[in-house]
Structure 1
Amino acid sequence: MDVLIVGAGSMGTWFGDAVDARVSFADLDRDAATAAANAVGGDVAALEAETTYDVVCLAVPMTHVTDAIADQAERAERAIVDVSGVMEPAIAAMARHAPDLERVSLHPLFAPERAPGSIAVVRDRSGPVTDELLAGLEARGNALLETTAAEHDEAMESVQSAAHAAVLSFALAAESVPSGFETPIYRGLRRLAEQVTGGTPRVYADIQATFDGADAVADAAAEIAAADADELESLYREAAAGWQEHRAEGREDDTGGDTE
């Protein structure tokens, strides 16, 4: 099986290393494509060419995935997949531009350096090629989380957009404190702030542009800031009840890191 990976960033490089196939990388930055190919033992391909492959994988930023699918779908002979992180637009674009091909959207729920981990999977039109790819990912120790595009994108409003907004808000609002004053909660938030601010700013900007969630965090913070003591106790109890329900439904999971 030969696979063209469009996008030679960290996620494209991860995919090229994780699949058992002959891989080629195409990217606007040819040096990046060369680095990715060298890292996984693949080849470099032209971004605009008529050469076709069994599989085309779009590993581009989520804000560009629909355009990339439109541009590259004709180069896929049997299957088209993406690892962009947004599923509803990607699935719709693949169905529109590759209606006769196998189509799968993947979202690794971890940073590539923390692989293996959980991978959200939407099999829009499965078949032997994509089944083989997914089996290979599973054999590498990844856990496949079967979902729908709508369920995934709705979850990302909390998992990514709201979570990132909350951590970045803390990072912007908090001031350094003298040694010895840290509490366990402060230290935990500080570690999260260091992790988030050590990532790639454009990735976080793309997530906020794609998924709702930040407004809800802002509204909650404003409500807390304006609350008197009794109202704050009520908000506290509301939050506690919500997370007790969360735990009772068994929705807690540790995927080993964020996707940045």
Structure 2
Amino acid sequence: MNVLVVGAGAMGRWFARTLATNTTGEVAVAFADADPDAAGAAADTEWGRAVPLDTDETFDAVCVAVPMPAAADAIETHADRATRAVLDVTGSAAGPVTAMRTHAPDCERVSLHPLFAPENAPGNVAVVVDEPGPVTDDVRAALAAAGNHCFETTPAEHDRAMETVQSRAHAAILAFGLAARDVPDAFQTPVSDALFDLVEQVGGGDPRVYADIQATFDGADDVAAAARDIAAADTETFADLYREATDR
């Protein structure tokens, strides 16, 4: 299998590494990136090669691994370099799937979302199969062989879930981090300790990635509204809100 990975960041490298080391047949990987040095570094690290972003080569499969706001444009630009399959690992589903249908109507089309940072692999991988076939079947088999749990979903279901597990969750954690004050460790409770750990976990990532999530998925406004409701609640209303939250 001859594969072009568009985007030489952590997720593009993870995809190439997972595919190359877990596919039964031979896999040749090329990296293209707006930063040629990044493509070269990825090629050196993952035993691939770097190609120009405007390469006129064609490949069995093209996988787009760029930030979410750039996904649709990248698919439009690079889909015609695929002879058999187009995939993405960008993190959203509806936009990339629509772009793949438009610009790669005769190819296999699959949107993949690893629900973890590459350094925490393996884990759960959400899979939207828009047009299956042997190439994307091999990709999914490689992900499973690496120990990932791949489960199928739809673009609407995926993006709706991301509003909670990413946008709302991150907003709540970061809001606590902004509102919290330093206190001696002796005062920490199991709940506060866990929240500070989550702030540290989120804080170890790339701010741009978290900003892209907030820009792509709704949810943060709901967290802010819920916090206002809690802050304004009298005892009886608070008890109702408490039960509503904990019953979920």
- TM normalised by structure 1 equals 0.92
Distance 1:167 1:149 in 2: 26
Residue among 31, 40, 56 paired with 1:34 = 40
Residue matched to 1:202: 208
Residue matched to 1:168: 174
Residue matched to 1:220: 226
CA RMSD of aligned residues (A): 0.7
Once the two structures are superposed, what CA deviation does each residue of 1:135-172 show, in whole Å capped at 9, x if it has no partner? 11111111111111110000000000000000000000
**Residue 241 (structure 1) shift:** 1.4
Distance 2:76 2:174 in 1: 34
Once the two structures are superposed, what CA deviation does each residue of 1:202-234 show, in whole Å capped at 9, x if it has no partner? 000000000001011000000000001111111
Distance 1:221 1:99 in 2: 45
Residue aligned with 2:209, SS: helix
Residue matched to 1:53: 59
Residue 5 in 1 paired to residue 5 in 2? yes
- TM normalised by structure 2 equals 0.96
**Residue 133 (structure 1) shift:** 1.0
**Residue 179 (structure 1) shift:** 2.7
Residue 138 in 1 paired to residue 144 in 2? yes
Percent identical residues: 58
Residue matched to 1:16: 16
Gaps of at least 5 residues in structure 2 are 21-26
User: 1:12 is aligned with what amino acid?
Assistant: G
**Residue 45 (structure 1) shift:** 0.8
Once the two structures are superposed, what CA deviation does each residue of 1:88-124 show, in whole Å capped at 9, x if it has no partner? 0100000000000000000001110011111000110
Distance 1:238 1:129 in 2: 46
Gaps of at least 5 residues in structure 1 are 243-260
**Residue 125 (structure 1) shift:** 0.2
Residue matched to 1:246: none
**Residue 31 (structure 1) shift:** 1.2
Distance 1:73 1:179 in 2: 53
Distance 2:78 2:232 in 1: 51
Q: How many residues align?
A: 242
**Residue 57 (structure 1) shift:** 0.3
Residue aligned with 2:186, SS: coil
Residue among 86, 98, 106 paired with 1:100 = 106
Distance 1:188 1:112 in 2: 23
Residue 183 in 1 paired to residue 211 in 2? no
Residue among 78, 82, 85 paired with 1:79 = 85
Distance 1:60 1:152 in 2: 18
